[in-house]
Protein backbone atom coordinates (compact mmCIF):
# COMPACT_ATOMS: atom_id res chain seq x y z
CA UNK A 1 0.00 0.00 0.00
CA UNK A 2 1.12 3.57 -0.64
CA UNK A 3 0.48 5.77 2.36
CA UNK A 4 0.59 9.55 2.23
CA UNK A 5 1.76 10.77 5.65
CA UNK A 6 0.83 14.34 6.52
CA UNK A 7 1.98 16.59 9.34
CA UNK A 8 0.06 19.85 9.20
CA UNK A 9 1.40 22.75 11.27
CA UNK A 10 0.17 26.33 11.60
CA UNK A 11 1.72 27.49 8.31
CA UNK A 12 3.34 24.36 6.97
CA UNK A 13 2.50 20.93 5.61
CA UNK A 14 5.13 18.18 5.72
CA UNK A 15 4.56 14.98 3.84
CA UNK A 16 6.05 11.63 2.93
CA UNK A 17 4.83 8.81 0.73
CA UNK A 18 5.71 5.43 2.20
CA UNK A 19 5.03 2.02 0.69
CA UNK A 20 4.23 -0.52 3.37
CA UNK A 21 2.06 -3.56 4.09
CA UNK A 22 2.02 -6.60 6.38
CA UNK A 23 4.98 -8.28 4.67
CA UNK A 24 7.07 -5.11 4.52
CA UNK A 25 6.40 -4.36 8.19
CA UNK A 26 7.51 -7.87 9.16
CA UNK A 27 10.66 -7.74 7.10
CA UNK A 28 11.41 -4.07 7.81
CA UNK A 29 11.43 -3.32 4.11
CA UNK A 30 9.06 -0.35 3.91
CA UNK A 31 10.00 1.99 1.07
CA UNK A 32 10.10 5.78 1.21
CA UNK A 33 8.98 7.01 -2.20
CA UNK A 34 8.90 10.78 -1.68
CA UNK A 35 8.95 13.55 0.86
CA UNK A 36 8.47 17.26 0.98
CA UNK A 37 7.32 20.43 2.65
CA UNK A 38 4.99 23.29 1.82
CA UNK A 39 6.19 26.15 4.00
CA UNK A 40 4.65 29.59 4.63
CA UNK A 41 1.09 28.60 3.79
CA UNK A 42 -1.13 31.69 3.63
CA UNK A 43 1.25 33.71 1.46
CA UNK A 44 4.01 33.18 -1.05
CA UNK A 45 4.85 29.59 -0.08
CA UNK A 46 8.04 27.62 -0.61
CA UNK A 47 7.39 24.12 -1.94
CA UNK A 48 10.15 21.53 -1.60
CA UNK A 49 9.46 18.15 -3.14
CA UNK A 50 11.78 15.21 -3.53
CA UNK A 51 11.32 11.72 -4.88
CA UNK A 52 13.72 9.23 -3.27
CA UNK A 53 16.99 9.14 -5.22
CA UNK A 54 16.13 12.24 -7.24
CA UNK A 55 17.20 15.85 -6.80
CA UNK A 56 15.20 18.18 -4.56
CA UNK A 57 12.78 20.39 -6.48
CA UNK A 58 12.16 23.77 -4.85
CA UNK A 59 9.64 26.32 -6.13
CA UNK A 60 7.77 29.34 -4.82
CA UNK A 61 4.06 29.90 -5.41
CA UNK A 62 1.14 31.45 -3.57
CA UNK A 63 -0.62 28.84 -1.41
CA UNK A 64 -3.80 30.17 0.19
CA UNK A 65 -4.56 27.57 2.83
CA UNK A 66 -4.07 23.94 3.86
CA UNK A 67 -6.47 22.70 1.19
CA UNK A 68 -4.42 24.45 -1.48
CA UNK A 69 -1.26 22.94 0.05
CA UNK A 70 -2.73 19.40 -0.13
CA UNK A 71 -3.74 20.09 -3.74
CA UNK A 72 -0.20 21.25 -4.56
CA UNK A 73 1.27 18.04 -3.10
CA UNK A 74 -1.20 15.85 -5.01
CA UNK A 75 -0.63 17.78 -8.22
CA UNK A 76 3.08 17.14 -7.89
CA UNK A 77 2.52 13.44 -7.15
CA UNK A 78 0.30 13.26 -10.24
CA UNK A 79 2.71 15.06 -12.52
CA UNK A 80 4.40 13.05 -15.22
CA UNK A 81 7.09 10.81 -13.79
CA UNK A 82 7.52 12.90 -10.59
CA UNK A 83 7.83 9.82 -8.40
CA UNK A 84 8.95 6.62 -10.06
CA UNK A 85 6.72 3.72 -8.91
CA UNK A 86 3.80 6.04 -8.36
CA UNK A 87 1.29 6.73 -11.08
CA UNK A 88 -0.20 9.87 -9.59
CA UNK A 89 -2.36 10.21 -6.53
CA UNK A 90 -4.73 7.46 -7.61
CA UNK A 91 -1.96 5.19 -6.39
CA UNK A 92 -2.34 6.57 -2.85
CA UNK A 93 -4.26 3.99 -0.84
CA UNK A 94 -4.65 5.84 2.46
CA UNK A 95 -3.57 8.96 4.31
CA UNK A 96 -2.08 9.01 7.83
CA UNK A 97 -2.05 12.20 9.88
CA UNK A 98 0.02 13.26 12.84
CA UNK A 99 -2.45 14.64 15.40
CA UNK A 100 -0.85 16.27 18.42
CA UNK A 101 -3.51 15.81 21.10
CA UNK A 102 -5.74 12.79 21.57
CA UNK A 103 -6.91 13.73 25.08
CA UNK A 104 -7.78 10.78 27.31
CA UNK A 105 -10.02 9.24 24.67
CA UNK A 106 -7.47 8.18 22.07
CA UNK A 107 -5.10 5.56 23.45
CA UNK A 108 -4.07 4.35 20.00
CA UNK A 109 -4.23 5.29 16.33
CA UNK A 110 -7.69 5.23 14.72
CA UNK A 111 -9.35 5.39 11.34
CA UNK A 112 -11.01 8.77 10.94
CA UNK A 113 -14.81 8.82 10.86
CA UNK A 114 -17.22 11.70 11.41
CA UNK A 115 -17.44 10.68 15.07
CA UNK A 116 -13.64 10.69 15.41
CA UNK A 117 -13.51 14.11 13.75
CA UNK A 118 -15.95 15.47 16.33
CA UNK A 119 -13.94 13.91 19.15
CA UNK A 120 -10.72 15.47 17.84
CA UNK A 121 -12.54 18.81 17.64
CA UNK A 122 -13.43 18.26 21.27
CA UNK A 123 -9.71 18.32 22.21
CA UNK A 124 -9.07 21.69 20.54
CA UNK A 125 -9.20 23.62 23.81
CA UNK A 126 -6.51 21.26 25.18
CA UNK A 127 -4.19 21.93 22.22
CA UNK A 128 -5.24 25.22 20.62
CA UNK A 129 -1.81 25.71 19.04
CA UNK A 130 -1.74 22.35 17.25
CA UNK A 131 -4.97 20.39 16.82
CA UNK A 132 -6.80 22.98 14.67
CA UNK A 133 -4.04 22.71 12.05
CA UNK A 134 -4.00 18.91 12.16
CA UNK A 135 -7.76 19.01 11.61
CA UNK A 136 -7.33 21.33 8.64
CA UNK A 137 -5.09 18.71 7.04
CA UNK A 138 -7.72 15.98 7.54
CA UNK A 139 -10.53 18.13 6.15
CA UNK A 140 -8.40 19.22 3.20
CA UNK A 141 -7.77 15.58 2.21
CA UNK A 142 -11.48 14.80 2.58
CA UNK A 143 -12.28 17.76 0.32
CA UNK A 144 -9.72 16.95 -2.33
CA UNK A 145 -9.70 13.12 -2.37
CA UNK A 146 -13.28 12.48 -1.25
CA UNK A 147 -14.73 10.81 1.82
CA UNK A 148 -13.93 7.30 0.61
CA UNK A 149 -10.18 7.81 0.93
CA UNK A 150 -9.25 6.03 4.20
CA UNK A 151 -7.60 8.38 6.67
CA UNK A 152 -6.01 7.59 10.03
CA UNK A 153 -5.05 9.76 12.99
CA UNK A 154 -1.86 8.96 14.91
CA UNK A 155 -1.69 10.86 18.19
CA UNK A 156 1.41 12.29 19.89
CA UNK A 157 -0.19 11.63 23.26
CA UNK A 158 -1.32 8.02 22.71
CA UNK A 159 1.91 6.23 23.66
CA UNK A 160 1.71 7.86 27.11
CA UNK A 161 -1.75 6.48 27.92
CA UNK A 162 -0.03 3.88 30.12
CA UNK A 163 1.18 6.49 32.63
CA UNK A 164 -0.04 5.51 36.10
CA UNK A 165 -2.32 7.98 37.91
CA UNK A 166 0.43 9.00 40.33
CA UNK A 167 2.57 10.06 37.34
CA UNK A 168 -0.10 11.89 35.36
CA UNK A 169 -1.81 13.77 38.18
CA UNK A 170 -0.48 17.11 39.37
CA UNK A 171 -0.49 18.09 43.02
CA UNK A 172 -3.50 20.35 42.55
CA UNK A 173 -7.16 19.91 43.60
CA UNK A 174 -8.53 16.72 42.06
CA UNK A 175 -11.76 18.36 40.81
CA UNK A 176 -9.64 20.36 38.34
CA UNK A 177 -8.75 17.07 36.74
CA UNK A 178 -12.35 15.83 36.81
CA UNK A 179 -13.86 19.09 35.56
CA UNK A 180 -11.24 20.39 33.15
CA UNK A 181 -9.06 17.38 32.29
CA UNK A 182 -5.97 19.05 33.77
CA UNK A 183 -3.32 16.31 33.91
CA UNK A 184 -0.05 15.26 32.28
CA UNK A 185 -0.65 13.96 28.75
CA UNK A 186 2.87 13.95 27.34
CA UNK A 187 3.81 14.45 23.68
CA UNK A 188 6.39 13.19 21.15
CA UNK A 189 4.79 9.79 21.83
CA UNK A 190 5.27 8.53 18.28
CA UNK A 191 8.98 9.29 18.50
CA UNK A 192 9.51 7.67 21.92
CA UNK A 193 7.48 4.67 20.77
CA UNK A 194 9.50 4.38 17.56
CA UNK A 195 12.92 4.41 19.26
CA UNK A 196 11.75 1.88 21.86
CA UNK A 197 10.54 -0.37 19.02
CA UNK A 198 13.80 0.12 17.14
CA UNK A 199 15.87 -0.65 20.25
CA UNK A 200 14.01 -3.95 20.59
CA UNK A 201 14.71 -4.73 16.95
CA UNK A 202 18.41 -3.91 17.23
CA UNK A 203 19.01 -5.80 20.46
CA UNK A 204 16.59 -8.72 20.10
CA UNK A 205 14.95 -7.85 23.44
CA UNK A 206 11.32 -8.60 24.10
CA UNK A 207 8.87 -5.82 24.89
CA UNK A 208 8.91 -6.87 28.56
CA UNK A 209 12.72 -6.59 28.68
CA UNK A 210 12.70 -3.06 27.27
CA UNK A 211 13.52 -0.60 30.07
CA UNK A 212 14.78 2.70 28.69
CA UNK A 213 15.14 6.40 29.24
CA UNK A 214 14.51 7.93 25.80
CA UNK A 215 15.60 11.52 25.16
CA UNK A 216 14.04 13.28 22.17
CA UNK A 217 16.14 16.43 21.83
CA UNK A 218 15.21 18.83 19.01
CA UNK A 219 13.62 22.25 18.87
CA UNK A 220 11.04 20.66 21.15
CA UNK A 221 12.55 18.23 23.64
CA UNK A 222 11.17 15.58 25.96
CA UNK A 223 12.30 12.61 28.03
CA UNK A 224 10.36 9.39 28.52
CA UNK A 225 10.66 6.60 31.08
CA UNK A 226 9.84 3.27 29.44
CA UNK A 227 9.28 0.19 31.62
CA UNK A 228 8.51 -3.17 30.03
CA UNK A 229 8.04 -1.39 26.70
CA UNK A 230 5.44 1.05 28.06
CA UNK A 231 5.66 4.75 28.83
CA UNK A 232 5.45 5.21 32.62
CA UNK A 233 6.47 8.87 32.79
CA UNK A 234 7.33 11.70 30.44
CA UNK A 235 8.56 15.26 30.85
CA UNK A 236 6.05 17.19 28.75
CA UNK A 237 2.82 17.68 30.62
CA UNK A 238 -0.59 19.24 30.08
CA UNK A 239 1.08 21.02 27.16
CA UNK A 240 4.48 20.62 25.46
CA UNK A 241 5.80 23.51 27.59
CA UNK A 242 6.79 21.44 30.62
CA UNK A 243 9.99 19.52 31.27
CA UNK A 244 13.29 19.98 29.48
CA UNK A 245 14.70 23.32 28.39
CA UNK A 246 13.96 23.66 24.65
CA UNK A 247 14.81 25.95 21.73
CA UNK A 248 12.40 28.70 22.76
CA UNK A 249 10.35 27.02 25.54
CA UNK A 250 11.31 27.28 29.18
CA UNK A 251 10.43 23.78 30.33
CA UNK A 252 9.84 23.49 34.11
CA UNK A 253 9.42 26.75 36.01
CA UNK A 254 7.97 27.61 39.39
CA UNK A 255 4.34 28.50 38.49
CA UNK A 256 4.45 31.44 40.93
CA UNK A 257 6.87 33.12 38.50
CA UNK A 258 4.04 33.75 36.04
CA UNK A 259 2.11 36.23 38.16
CA UNK A 260 5.31 37.80 39.46
CA UNK A 261 6.60 38.49 35.93
CA UNK A 262 3.16 39.72 34.85
CA UNK A 263 3.10 42.30 37.65
CA UNK A 264 6.74 43.37 37.33
CA UNK A 265 6.70 43.65 33.52
CA UNK A 266 3.14 44.89 33.15
CA UNK A 267 2.11 41.89 31.05
CA UNK A 268 -1.05 39.80 30.91
CA UNK A 269 -0.84 36.15 31.97
CA UNK A 270 -1.29 35.21 28.32
CA UNK A 271 1.70 37.40 27.36
CA UNK A 272 3.79 35.68 30.03
CA UNK A 273 2.82 32.29 28.64
CA UNK A 274 3.86 33.44 25.17
CA UNK A 275 7.16 34.57 26.66
CA UNK A 276 7.66 31.09 28.14
CA UNK A 277 6.72 29.48 24.80
CA UNK A 278 8.55 31.67 22.32
CA UNK A 279 11.23 33.77 23.99
CA UNK A 280 12.66 31.42 26.59
CA UNK A 281 14.77 28.26 26.57
CA UNK A 282 18.08 28.37 24.68
CA UNK A 283 17.04 31.59 22.93
CA UNK A 284 15.98 33.33 26.13
CA UNK A 285 19.06 32.41 28.14
CA UNK A 286 21.62 33.04 25.41
CA UNK A 287 19.92 36.08 23.89
CA UNK A 288 21.38 34.80 20.62
CA UNK A 289 19.56 31.89 19.02
CA UNK A 290 17.31 28.90 19.66
CA UNK A 291 19.55 26.76 17.46
CA UNK A 292 21.85 24.39 19.35
CA UNK A 293 24.33 24.06 16.50
CA UNK A 294 24.80 27.84 16.36
CA UNK A 295 25.13 28.05 20.14
CA UNK A 296 27.84 25.38 20.22
CA UNK A 297 29.72 27.22 17.46
CA UNK A 298 29.36 30.52 19.34
CA UNK A 299 30.62 28.98 22.57
CA UNK A 300 33.60 27.45 20.84
CA UNK A 301 34.55 30.35 18.61
CA UNK A 302 33.94 33.34 20.88
CA UNK A 303 33.63 31.79 24.35
CA UNK A 304 30.33 33.65 24.72
CA UNK A 305 29.32 33.30 28.39
CA UNK A 306 25.55 33.23 27.88
CA UNK A 307 25.85 30.69 25.08
CA UNK A 308 27.78 28.48 27.51
CA UNK A 309 25.20 28.97 30.27
CA UNK A 310 22.31 28.16 27.90
CA UNK A 311 23.98 24.90 26.87
CA UNK A 312 24.82 24.03 30.49
CA UNK A 313 21.24 24.67 31.66
CA UNK A 314 19.97 22.48 28.78
CA UNK A 315 22.34 19.62 29.61
CA UNK A 316 21.88 19.82 33.37
CA UNK A 317 18.08 19.72 33.09
CA UNK A 318 18.34 16.73 30.76
CA UNK A 319 20.69 14.92 33.17
CA UNK A 320 18.30 15.55 36.08
CA UNK A 321 15.51 13.90 34.10
CA UNK A 322 17.71 10.92 33.27
CA UNK A 323 18.35 10.44 37.00
CA UNK A 324 14.69 10.88 37.89
CA UNK A 325 13.57 8.39 35.25
CA UNK A 326 16.13 5.79 36.27
CA UNK A 327 14.43 6.00 39.67
CA UNK A 328 10.93 5.91 38.12
CA UNK A 329 11.74 2.79 36.10
CA UNK A 330 13.69 1.13 38.89
CA UNK A 331 16.86 0.90 36.79
CA UNK A 332 17.02 0.91 33.02
CA UNK A 333 19.09 -0.88 30.48
CA UNK A 334 19.96 2.10 28.29
CA UNK A 335 19.56 5.79 27.60
CA UNK A 336 18.57 6.46 23.99
CA UNK A 337 19.16 9.78 22.21
CA UNK A 338 17.09 10.95 19.25
CA UNK A 339 15.86 14.19 17.57
CA UNK A 340 17.99 16.76 15.73
CA UNK A 341 20.28 17.44 18.72
CA UNK A 342 20.24 13.88 20.12
CA UNK A 343 21.15 12.40 16.74
CA UNK A 344 23.75 14.95 15.69
CA UNK A 345 25.55 16.39 18.67
CA UNK A 346 28.20 14.20 20.35
CA UNK A 347 29.12 17.19 22.52
CA UNK A 348 25.64 17.55 24.00
CA UNK A 349 25.32 13.79 24.59
CA UNK A 350 28.68 13.84 26.37
CA UNK A 351 27.72 16.82 28.53
CA UNK A 352 24.39 15.26 29.51
CA UNK A 353 25.96 11.95 30.45
CA UNK A 354 28.96 13.34 32.31
CA UNK A 355 28.73 12.65 36.02
CA UNK A 356 26.43 9.66 35.47
CA UNK A 357 29.25 7.13 35.87
CA UNK A 358 27.75 6.16 39.26
CA UNK A 359 24.71 4.87 37.34
CA UNK A 360 26.88 2.72 35.08
CA UNK A 361 27.32 5.08 32.12
CA UNK A 362 30.63 4.76 30.31
CA UNK A 363 30.75 6.64 27.06
CA UNK A 364 33.06 5.52 24.24
CA UNK A 365 34.15 9.02 23.22
CA UNK A 366 35.44 7.98 19.80
CA UNK A 367 32.29 6.05 18.88
CA UNK A 368 30.16 8.88 20.26
CA UNK A 369 32.00 11.37 18.04
CA UNK A 370 31.32 9.29 14.94
CA UNK A 371 27.62 8.69 15.66
CA UNK A 372 26.07 11.57 13.67
CA UNK A 373 24.05 12.26 10.53
CA UNK A 374 21.60 9.38 10.76
CA UNK A 375 23.98 6.78 12.24
CA UNK A 376 22.40 4.27 14.62
CA UNK A 377 23.99 2.24 17.38
CA UNK A 378 25.49 2.13 20.88
CA UNK A 379 27.87 4.87 22.04
CA UNK A 380 28.84 3.28 25.35
CA UNK A 381 32.00 1.35 26.15
CA UNK A 382 31.71 -2.40 25.94
CA UNK A 383 30.57 -3.86 29.26
CA UNK A 384 29.07 -0.58 30.54
CA UNK A 385 26.38 -1.35 33.16
CA UNK A 386 24.02 1.21 31.64
CA UNK A 387 23.92 1.45 27.86
CA UNK A 388 23.80 4.62 25.78
CA UNK A 389 22.48 4.62 22.22
CA UNK A 390 21.72 6.90 19.31
CA UNK A 391 18.62 5.91 17.35
CA UNK A 392 17.39 8.33 14.65
CA UNK A 393 13.65 8.80 15.01
CA UNK A 394 11.18 8.08 12.20
CA UNK A 395 7.71 9.17 13.22
CA UNK A 396 6.50 9.09 9.61
CA UNK A 397 7.27 5.40 9.32
CA UNK A 398 5.16 4.57 12.38
CA UNK A 399 2.33 6.76 11.08
CA UNK A 400 2.46 4.94 7.73
CA UNK A 401 2.53 1.52 9.39
CA UNK A 402 -0.30 2.33 11.81
CA UNK A 403 -2.38 3.60 8.89
CA UNK A 404 -1.71 0.47 6.81
CA UNK A 405 -2.49 -1.83 9.75
CA UNK A 406 -5.78 -0.03 10.40
CA UNK A 407 -6.84 -0.16 6.76
CA UNK A 408 -5.86 -3.83 6.49
CA UNK A 409 -7.52 -4.67 9.82
CA UNK A 410 -4.28 -5.91 11.39
CA UNK A 411 -3.56 -6.00 15.10
CA UNK A 412 -1.19 -3.23 16.26
CA UNK A 413 0.38 -3.14 19.69
CA UNK A 414 1.73 -0.02 21.22
P1 LIG B 1 12.13 19.75 15.55
O2 LIG B 1 11.83 19.59 17.01
O3 LIG B 1 11.71 21.09 14.98
O4 LIG B 1 11.77 18.56 14.69
P5 LIG B 1 14.85 18.87 15.10
O6 LIG B 1 14.64 17.52 15.68
O7 LIG B 1 15.08 18.98 13.63
O8 LIG B 1 13.73 19.88 15.51
O9 LIG B 1 16.12 19.52 15.85
C10 LIG B 1 16.57 20.80 15.57
C11 LIG B 1 17.74 21.10 16.51
O12 LIG B 1 18.81 20.16 16.23
C13 LIG B 1 18.33 22.50 16.33
O14 LIG B 1 18.60 23.07 17.60
C15 LIG B 1 19.62 22.21 15.60
O16 LIG B 1 20.62 23.17 15.85
C17 LIG B 1 20.02 20.89 16.22
N18 LIG B 1 21.08 20.24 15.46
C19 LIG B 1 21.03 19.73 14.22
N20 LIG B 1 22.26 19.30 13.85
C21 LIG B 1 23.10 19.56 14.88
C22 LIG B 1 24.49 19.38 15.12
N23 LIG B 1 25.28 18.82 14.22
N24 LIG B 1 24.99 19.76 16.32
C25 LIG B 1 24.20 20.33 17.25
N26 LIG B 1 22.89 20.54 17.08
C27 LIG B 1 22.34 20.17 15.92
Q: Where are the domains of the chain?
A: 2-155, 205-390
| pLDDT at position 60 over 90 | yes
Q: Is 340 in the pocket of ligand 1 (CB under 6 A)?
A: yes
Q: Is 345 in the pocket of ligand 1 (CB under 6 A)?
A: yes
pLDDT of residue 84: 82
Over the stretch 129-151, which tens digit does the pLDDT of each residue have? 888 999 999 999 999 999 999 99
The CATH number given to 2-155 is: 3.30.420.40
Question: What average pLDDT does range 60-88 have in this prediction?
Answer: 89
Nearest ligand 1 atom to the CA of 296 is 25
Q: Is 295 in the pocket of ligand 1 (CB under 6 A)?
A: no
Nearest ligand 1 atom to the CA of 348 is 25
| pLDDT at position 304 over 90 | yes
| pLDDT at position 157 over 70 | yes
Nearest ligand 1 atom to the CA of 339 is 6
Q: Is 119 in the pocket of ligand 1 (CB under 6 A)?
A: no
Angle at the Cα of 41 from the Cα atoms of 39 and 45, rounded to 5 degrees: 60
| pLDDT at position 20 over 80 | yes
Question: What average pLDDT does range 284-307 have in this prediction?
Answer: 98
Fold equal for 2-155 and 205-390? yes
Of 44-48, 71-75, 270-274, the range with the lowest mean pLDDT is: 71-75
pLDDT of residue 81: 77
Nearest ligand 1 atom to the CA of 216 is 6
pTM (two decimals):
0.96
Q: Is 375 in the pocket of ligand 1 (CB under 6 A)?
A: no
| pLDDT at position 214 over 70 | yes
What whole-number distance in Å separates Cα of residue 204 and Cα of residue 258?
Answer: 47
Q: Is 342 in the pocket of ligand 1 (CB under 6 A)?
A: no
Question: What average pLDDT does range 302-314 have in this prediction?
Answer: 98
pLDDT of residue 89: 77
Q: Are 215 and 243 in contact (CB under 8 A)?
A: no
What whole-number distance in Å separates Cα of residue 64 and Cα of residue 119?
Answer: 27
| pLDDT at position 412 over 80 | no
Return the residue whose CA atom lies nearest to atom 25 of ligand 1: 293
Question: What average pLDDT does range 370-374 have in this prediction?
Answer: 97
| pLDDT at position 115 over 90 | yes
Split at pLDDT 50, 70, 90, the class of 414 is: low
Q: Is 393 in the pocket of ligand 1 (CB under 6 A)?
A: no
23 alpha carbon to ligand 1 midpoint, in Å?
33
What whole-number distance in Å separates Cα of residue 85 and Cα of residue 19?
Answer: 10
Rg value, the chain, Cα: 21
Average pLDDT, the chain: 95
| pLDDT at position 389 over 90 | yes
Over the stretch 177-192, which tens digit does the pLDDT of each residue have? 999 999 999 999 999 9
Residues known to be catalytic: 156
Return the residue whose CA atom lies nearest to atom 3 of ligand 1: 219
Question: What average pLDDT does range 196-216 have in this prediction?
Answer: 97
What whole-number distance in Å separates Cα of residue 51 and Cα of residue 308?
Answer: 40
| pLDDT at position 295 over 80 | yes
Q: Is 210 in the pocket of ligand 1 (CB under 6 A)?
A: no
Mutate to test the pocket of ligand 1, among 219, 222, 346 (most ligand atoms within 8 A of CB): 219
pLDDT of residue 293: 98
Return the residue whose CA atom lies nearest to atom 7 of ligand 1: 340
| pLDDT at position 170 over 70 | yes
Over the stretch 241-285, which tens digit does the pLDDT of each residue have? 999 999 999 999 999 999 999 999 999 999 999 999 999 999 999
Fold of 205-390: Nucleotidyltransferase; domain 5 (3.30.420)
248 alpha carbon to ligand 1 midpoint, in Å?
13
Split at pLDDT 50, 70, 90, the class of 128 is: confident
Amino acid sequence: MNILVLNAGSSSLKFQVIRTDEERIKSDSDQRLAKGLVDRIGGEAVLSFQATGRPLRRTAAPVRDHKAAVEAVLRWLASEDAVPDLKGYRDIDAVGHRVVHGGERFTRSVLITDVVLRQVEDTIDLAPLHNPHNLKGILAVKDVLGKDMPQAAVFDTAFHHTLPDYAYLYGIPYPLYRRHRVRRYGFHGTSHRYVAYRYRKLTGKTREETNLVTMHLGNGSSACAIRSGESVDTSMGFTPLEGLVMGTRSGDVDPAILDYIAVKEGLSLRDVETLLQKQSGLLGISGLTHDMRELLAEEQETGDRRARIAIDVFCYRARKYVGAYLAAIGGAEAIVFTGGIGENSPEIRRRILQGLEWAGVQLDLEVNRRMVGGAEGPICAEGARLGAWVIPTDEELLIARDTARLVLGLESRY
